[in-house]
Structure 1
Amino acid sequence: MPLPFLTADGVSDADDDSDEVLAHPDHDRWRRPYRPGPWRVAIAALLLLLSAFMLLATMIVAFAGGWRGAAVCLVAALAVVGSAVQTLRMGVWVSRTGMRRVGFLSARTVAWSEIAEFRTVQQPVRWLGLPRTVQGQALTVSGRGGTELPVLLTDHNADFLLRAEAFDRAADTLAAWADAYRPVPA
């Protein structure tokens, strides 16, 4: 079963050195321009393992005759499965229409025409999304009119921790998407 949210533009490992950044046929579909990192995948895998135990508990409670308790266990297990899927979906997605930053509970879409520039800056960043901050790189976006949008990517998030080359490649790819679809100012 194909899992499109786990692939980066449908690119295989053999295609990592390709020169064409936007080399996929359908630019209208929302795509993540980078692969999810091992930390993000590990967190999702642990959540799915937890949900398997919760579903086993649901079955045991149902066989014991506690239908109300089984329903509560089933709802909790489905919430954990949904959390695992949403954890894998988190990140920056791009299409011909714009850029979408997907968080755990929210998503924000910005049209390419609203983006002035991308910058990679050194600043305190959150380590794996936790409250603890460390010095690192962040990819920021400034909108037209000088508005600052939230930080898109950091080199210490679940996708790029200990993968500096992948962070640089993702930042370059996002800039290439912006250059390809941002209207030229008159």
Structure 2
Amino acid sequence: MTATTGAEELTGDYVLDTARTRLGFVSRSLLVVKVRGRFEEFEGSARLDGDDPSRSVVRLTIRARSIRTDHDKRDGHLRGGDFLDADRHPLLTFSSTGVQPAGPGFRVTGDLTVRGVTRTVVLDLERTGDATDPRGALRLAFAARGSLDRRDWGINWGRGMIARKVALELDVTVVRRGPG
């Protein structure tokens, strides 16, 4: 794999490489112990503009039932009505509404829909790598971090047992579709 350099070379349409992407979160249980989880079924796309990042757009769709914390009983509870209500709301979606340079990376603002409720979320995004694979496709890697208050989406169960703040930890790889 070879590395690329200039921002203008990054312009193009991309799809999420689901095999090399991790959509994770961290919350505290009993307000002491960190519980880490992830979603295993998702898809996404991006239109990146290397010359004018504000014209970039990101979209992500996550299957609520794919939530995993490596504890079957807890995972079932998270899929249920107290949390994600996956039977009534099978998808979580994110659609960016703005991308701005911020320090060494970017700040991505977007609408996150969970349980049929849409709220704004801000992610700090840092490009962690880029390379052209042996087939000639450009791959970009990013780390994104943010946080949300689960109560903003009507997830109120477990007061005093589960922290209301949830940290988002995303490691994302995208692959360019066709010519930039």
- Structure 2 length as normaliser, TM-score? 0.24
Q: Which has the higher strand share?
A: 2
Which structure is higher in RCO with an 8 Å CA cutoff and minimum separation 6?
Answer: 2
Q: Higher helix fraction: Structure 1 or Structure 2? A: 1
Over alpha carbons, which structure has the higher Rg?
A: 1
